[in-house]
Structure 1
């Protein structure tokens, strides 16, 4: 039966199995059900349906504290988690990963990437270096201790060096008091080998009922009468290889990565859907050609509640960038788009959509530039379409939408070459409109 990949098409169907295939708790999504808000960072959103199997795949990096916290929150809300499965091959975010991430960003100062400081990058780095700790290691204390010991020593040395550099920076900046904080040479209790092993063995006991061979679970579902949705985190323009490097995430959120991160083959994927807001947002540093610094950008921020689920940071807001969206559509070979938060644009008009860039030398750029220095200095050129004033939050079918809103969606679809099939007009799952084309 079908395998459907759902990916973010900007800067982050009914099914029986929902599989998260990459990223970690550096991204979040908010689900509103019957007026109640649920925030997830690791667990797939299908967990709210007890008849859906929710899978955290091998491509995800898992902070066990965060995962167990989400499980506990769901239980307190009366929602069971017996349908949650965690790949035995997923890598674990350890305490030293978070410390390294934070120290590294602090060292960079104004040149920082803008990471969430959740340890994602250092964890993926250890995975590539073959120093990673996997979920299955939680179930064998001897193996766990051996692996943590091997990974810990170089981390302690790196953190000591970063600490020395940071104190030097603070002293040079005249911040002697801050430089004296932390106690140079005093071991961080979070890096104690025995305490870390004991804590993670306990994590293993709690997570063991959920640990599984999730690739085989996906195979069985795909070979049966089930539809499997592969759910990405972040979005195309934050992809490690194809995004605005180095202002990207540490994994691959594009559709092609679903196979690797879930353990399925390319022929298992039948459809790819992209999700994009009706305007553009970005959190953290990096190029953003259509960013707005005026009242309209502030309206988008406030109306759209554009604050990061993970960090609470303000998201940068701007006009829809069709050059970037078309790039994402082609890169992922999307079959259709879902446009969310169309309601946020009510009362803002005329509406602008970026259809090309112009380089600082004056060259017209119709395609997303491969060289980031070009994108950093590019100026967007816009097409304007009429806005609409109607409150869209009560619309439930295409005919309820004002003609201007339908024209806006049609402009997007015509430009990027794939249909808009779904439109969101509010945060609740009932506030969606399915379109015929």
Structure 2
């Protein structure tokens, strides 16, 4: 039995969904512990692309139960849309989804406020997904949140919903000078999804404790990436939840002693959606190549991702924050055609000329300059390769240098989008 946390080490979009899907055949539960439908996991099933935003990736395995822990914010609309989308692919999943009664709900007024804030001053915008995630978490912290448990008593639900709608409409009307939200439309949405959500409610910490005692393996599926963590990321250009390993504990109710392994998903280069610091960002033909070859468009927003070279300095921080046991290196095949490949190994302060190898504290990101190790590209096809011995020598050198710099083993290498396009150096579930 092994309980594994699988999380992103960069700014999200590292390829977590495929790895969760690949490892899930040996587990009983897959648990999502933070975020909402601002995430996007792209899976390939029978040569068809399936994009999940809210429901955990493990749902494609018919013997697996998926859990949305208390740290997740749920959009009833998004939940229903994904359930119906999965039905079209032949997956009937409602009886395999379990949710915490403490999950906060995302409703139309959350989305309206998110959009109004981003539009008020484009220059100062964070670059959110406009899904209402931030306002929903704000409600939680302010103790006015509308939770799944509020659906149980209908009369109390109606009164609370009226109060929250009024609260948001006052902001939309008087502060942001924009359209207000019709309470009756929100109530209609709630009524359409109320029974579905209540039927999914379970005592999640109790389920996880029983599974652990029965030695049934659990995967905890992270959303976004460690550098977007509300506490430890590149604030304020972060998401609204804890994306580091601590979020798996607080967002699900599992005890720390029951986590056996933490897999850090590392894209072979760096990408970021939205605004914020990005020391190794490329703005040249290499950027165009990575975007096109890697299909670097957000699965949630459709926005073109910013691209850059692999950043060892930031990866060291992620390893430190998450106690990462091993690395899964993804999208190595995207680098196949490059003549030269760079890895950022240090930062340099352009003003003081100081060189440092760890996450910058009290530093102006604008004066940070990456110092690179330049490697020759392998310029050979790695797509779909399933054995380490069949990789080009220079690709193996690239992997070995990453292991040496990070002092963490690369146990899994993804060479393409399909579940089978994977090299496994060590069976994590053993």
* 3-state DSSP of counterpart to 1:285: coil
Aligned-pair CA distance for 1:436: 4.6
Cα distance in 1 between the residues matched to 2:275 and 2:86:
33
Could you tell me which of 158, 163, 166 is aligned with 1:145?
A: 158
Cα distance in 1 between the residues matched to 2:189 and 2:134:
22
Could you tell me which of 18, 26, 44 is aligned with 2:56?
A: 44
* 3-state DSSP of counterpart to 1:80: coil
Aligned-pair CA distance for 1:384: 1.2
Cα distance in 1 between the residues matched to 2:364 and 2:338:
30
Aligned-pair CA distance for 1:388: 0.8
Aligned-pair CA distance for 1:30: 0.1
* 3-state DSSP of counterpart to 2:395: helix
* 3-state DSSP of counterpart to 1:124: helix
The correspondence of residues 133-172 of structure 1 with structure 2, limited to 5 A, is 133-164=146-177
Instruction: Note if contact 2:117-2:176 (Cα within 8 Å) is conserved in structure 1.
Output: no
Post-superposition CA distance 1:10-63 (Å, at most 9, x none): 111432210000001111010012211110000000100010111111100011
Could you tell me which of 102, 106, 109 is aligned with 2:115?
A: 102
> Equivalent residue for 1:367?
358
Aligned-pair CA distance for 1:138: 2.2
Q: Which segments of 5 or more consecutive residues in structure 1 lack a partner in the other structure?
A: 165-181
Aligned-pair CA distance for 1:195: 3.6
Could you tell me which of 114, 119, 130 is aligned with 2:143?
A: 130
Instruction: Note if contact 1:144-1:197 (Cα within 8 Å) is conserved in structure 2.
Output: no
Could you tell me which of 314, 321, 337 is aligned with 2:327?
A: 337
Q: Which segments of 5 or more consecutive residues in structure 2 lack a partner in the other structure?
A: 13-22
Aligned-pair CA distance for 1:163: 3.2
> Equivalent residue for 1:239?
229
> Equivalent residue for 1:173?
none
Instruction: Note if contact 2:346-2:355 (Cα within 8 Å) is conserved in structure 1.
Output: yes
> Equivalent residue for 1:306?
296
> Equivalent residue for 1:353?
343
Cα distance in 1 between the residues matched to 2:320 and 2:257:
18
> Equivalent residue for 1:297?
287
> Equivalent residue for 2:3?
3
Which stretch shows the higher mean deviation, 229-238 or 145-154?
145-154
Instruction: Note if contact 1:9-1:325 (Cα within 8 Å) is conserved in structure 2.
Output: yes
Instruction: Note if contact 1:58-1:90 (Cα within 8 Å) is conserved in structure 2.
Output: yes
Q: TM-score, normalised by structure 1?
A: 0.92
Cα distance in 2 between the residues matched to 1:268 and 1:225:
10
* 3-state DSSP of counterpart to 2:262: strand
* 3-state DSSP of counterpart to 2:423: strand
- 1:223 equivalenced with 2:235 (yes/no): no
The correspondence of residues 208-287 of structure 1 with structure 2, limited to 5 A, is 208-287=198-277
* 3-state DSSP of counterpart to 2:70: coil
Q: TM-score, normalised by structure 2?
A: 0.93
Post-superposition CA distance 1:266-308 (Å, at most 9, x none): 1111111100100000000000000111111111111111100
Cα distance in 2 between the residues matched to 1:436 and 1:217:
29
Cα distance in 2 between the residues matched to 1:87 and 1:105:
30
Aligned-pair CA distance for 1:386: 1.8
Q: CA RMSD in A?
A: 1.4
Cα distance in 1 between the residues matched to 2:154 and 2:322:
41
The correspondence of residues 416-427 of structure 1 with structure 2, limited to 5 A, is 416-427=406-417
Aligned residues: 413
Aligned-pair CA distance for 1:211: 2.2
> Equivalent residue for 1:409?
399
